[in-house]
Structure 1
Amino acid sequence: MTVPSVNWNYPTAIKVGPGRIDELPDHCRALGMERPLLVTDPALAPLPMLEHAERACREAGLGCAVFHDIKGNPTGRNVDDGVTAFKRGRHDGVIAFGGGSALDAAKAIALMVGQDRPLWDFEDVGDNYLRVNVSGMAPVVAVPTTAGTGSEVGRASVITDESAQVKRIIFHARMLPSIVILDAQLTVGLPPRITAATGMDALSHNLEAYCSPFYHPMAAGIAVEAMRLIKEYLPQAVANGADLQARQQMLVASCMGATAFQRGLGAMHALAHPLGALYDAHHGLLNAILMPYVLKANQQAVAPRLETLARYLGLPQAGPDAVLDWVLALRKAVGIPHTLAEIGLDDAQADRVGRMASQDPSAGTNPLNLSAEQYSQLFRAAIRGNL
């Protein structure tokens, strides 16, 4: 085997523990912010946790304002509107506060406030990242309120191009937030169904990263331990949302997933991205439903890795089906539907979905090089429940 030559990049300063949101003003000041724009989503905007964070900043003398005009699958228009709000308020930094949609939008806003090119010029294709005026980017403090996407330690944002009906990945290494606060108290009020969907999203990141053919042993090790945490703590977090230990461990596992997927993702995300763009469905729930179908399709290509994972997780069996059986049991335990039809999707656009999935960047690190037709077949299987 030839020893590979690769580039590795790992995360940022992470403040972990309940109550650490109280440090938010200090972290803003450490990054030179005096007038941060707090970017969140409409569901969080009226909640006490948001008011607490905003008030803490103002009491510390920071000129904080809130922007929350963001969809569940954030769009280019949302980013443009956020940039307008940033400039109108003469802000000098961004607080990314919320779930994956708010974090992705906030990072894209912080990127775009100092650019003279349109957003799509920075899509993660070729060397487009070299077009970024790095000096124009605003600093970011990230505060996740769900344990799913791990966007707080990501160097990219997934933004929907509504005119083309496609999700685009906007990338630059400096999009990685400078400081992250993982405070389990902020996730306590999350409903069980969202806890389940976001937790399964974290599992999808770790599982796909672990199965990727890309060489990155550190990422693979992180993914394995994160999956152990999810196995132990996701059912607890869904059953008892006030369990701070379970909530904190799930935030950590989510953060680990986005760290691990520097190794790459796969067919789950290759399908979830076009489905989110076409149907505006919840990203984490899509990954959760797609997971066993994709795992079955890739199973023979990753059988040795799955056997190793089964032993690490302490599953009853260690054969190729052990991980699949565990995923199916976990989904059932936390209330994830078995088919895409159960959340209102049909196969009318199956051919289009297959083409879009085969062209998605996540397809490039799937263990198997699947064709557009194979992606269409996978989509149809997930619609009908054919494993």
Structure 2
Amino acid sequence: MRGNWNYPTTVWFGAGRIVELGEACERLGLKRPLVVTDPGVAALPMFGASVDRLRAAGFDADVFSDVRGNPIGKNVVDGVDAYRDGRHDGVIAFGGGSALDVGKAVALMSGQTRDIWEFEDIGNNYQRADVAGIAPIIAVPTTSGTGSEVGRASVITDETIHSKKIIFHPLMQPRIALCDPELTLGLPPHITAATGMDALAHCLEAYCGTAFHPM
């Protein structure tokens, strides 16, 4: 299967489409993207090849990979520092749910002066954001579990109180999600299995949650 559609994120789906990452950057006018990922993905050959292609095409891409599973606020703060220090103009969130969530949060916070926790998904907190300071996002998922590549929020742990919080803004939704199923082939089998079960669990939740979803 291969195709493009909107959800409303523009989704480019199909085997081998990772080679179109440069085209996605061009579509959004990015010249100096920051690629946000985790150490595990950063060590994979397919990731290195993707970054090499970007650089060979003339993009001044840097990599930030200090992302842990169940990411914490410091991961976002450090990513924002890398974004600003490199004078980047957009974020490529590349990896599983944690990397996607941190990448989206970095994009939100790249041009803000407030603390990240002021954008917790409570009431109209998102209206505090300076929308001109939110960087464009391209999402490249390498797992099937979270759906963060088409979502408008990130789950980040406030390590000072040991509590997970949802950080939300409508513009945290990636502009383009480049979904290449071949990227999942390089993952360890236990990660593929776990994220597949995660996707199934989300489907079952939606099916059983009749009080919250009309389907």
TM-score by length of 2: 0.94
Question: What is the aligned partner in structure 2 of residue 25 from structure 1?
Answer: 22
Task: Find the partner of 1:76 among 49, 73, 77.
Answer: 73
Distance in 2, Cα, partners of 1:190 & 1:61: 28
1:181 aligns with 2:178: yes
Question: What is the aligned partner in structure 2 of residue 61 from structure 1?
Answer: 58
For the aligned residue pairs, the C-alpha RMSD in angstroms reads 1.3
1:206 CA drift (Å): 1.6
Bigger Rg, which one:
1
Q: Percent identity?
A: 61
1:37 aligns with 2:34: yes
1:85 CA drift (Å): 0.1
Task: Find the partner of 1:85 among 82, 85, 90.
Answer: 82
> SS at the partner of 2:186?
coil
> SS at the partner of 2:99?
helix
Task: Find the partner of 1:125 among 104, 122, 125.
Answer: 122
Distance in 1, Cα, partners of 2:26 & 2:185: 27
Distance in 2, Cα, partners of 1:15 & 1:178: 11
Residue by residue, what CA displacement relative to the aligned partner does 1:137-176 show, whole Å, maximum 9, x if unpaired?
A: 0001100011111110111000011111010000111111
Structure 1: tracts of 5 or more residues without a match: 1-9, 221-387
Paired amino acid for 1:37: L
Distance in 2, Cα, partners of 1:215 & 1:96: 29
Paired amino acid for 1:67: F
Residue by residue, what CA displacement relative to the aligned partner does 1:204-243 show, whole Å, maximum 9, x if unpaired?
A: 2122122221254xxx3xxxxxxxxxxxxxxxxxxxxxxx
- Equivalent runs, 1:215-294 vs 2, <5 Å: 215-216=213-214, 220=215
Contact 2:14 2:181 in 1 (8 A): yes
Question: What is the aligned partner in structure 2 of residue 214 from structure 1?
Answer: 212
Q: How many residues align?
A: 209
Contact 2:206 2:213 in 1 (8 A): no
Distance in 1, Cα, partners of 2:139 & 2:105: 13
Paired amino acid for 2:181: A
1:199 aligns with 2:202: no
Distance in 2, Cα, partners of 1:192 & 1:30: 34
Task: Find the partner of 1:98 among 95, 98, 118.
Answer: 95
Distance in 2, Cα, partners of 1:198 & 1:144: 11
Paired amino acid for 1:214: F
TM-score by length of 1: 0.53
Greater helix percent: which structure?
A: 1
Residue by residue, what CA displacement relative to the aligned partner does 1:17-76 show, whole Å, maximum 9, x if unpaired?
A: 111000001101111100000000011112211111111111111100000001111110
Question: What is the aligned partner in structure 1 of residue 139 from structure 2?
Answer: 142
Higher relative contact order (CA 8 A, sep 6+): 2
Structure 2: tracts of 5 or more residues without a match: 1-6
Question: What is the aligned partner in structure 1 of residue 4 from structure 2?
Answer: none
Paired amino acid for 1:92: D
Residue by residue, what CA displacement relative to the aligned partner does 1:74-96 show, whole Å, maximum 9, x if unpaired?
A: 11000000000000000000000
Task: Find the partner of 1:48 among 45, 49, 59.
Answer: 45
Distance in 1, Cα, partners of 2:213 & 2:199: 21
Moved over 3 A (4+): none
Question: What is the aligned partner in structure 1 of residue 3 from structure 2?
Answer: none
1:185 CA drift (Å): 1.0
Distance in 1, Cα, partners of 2:79 & 2:146: 21
Distance in 2, Cα, partners of 1:11 & 1:182: 15
Residue by residue, what CA displacement relative to the aligned partner does 1:115-144 show, whole Å, maximum 9, x if unpaired?
A: 111000000011111111111100011000
Paired amino acid for 1:202: A
1:196 CA drift (Å): 1.6
Contact 2:141 2:149 in 1 (8 A): yes
Distance in 1, Cα, partners of 2:127 & 2:202: 27
Task: Find the partner of 2:149 among 142, 147, 152.
Answer: 152
Distance in 2, Cα, partners of 1:69 & 1:125: 28
Distance in 1, Cα, partners of 2:77 & 2:106: 7
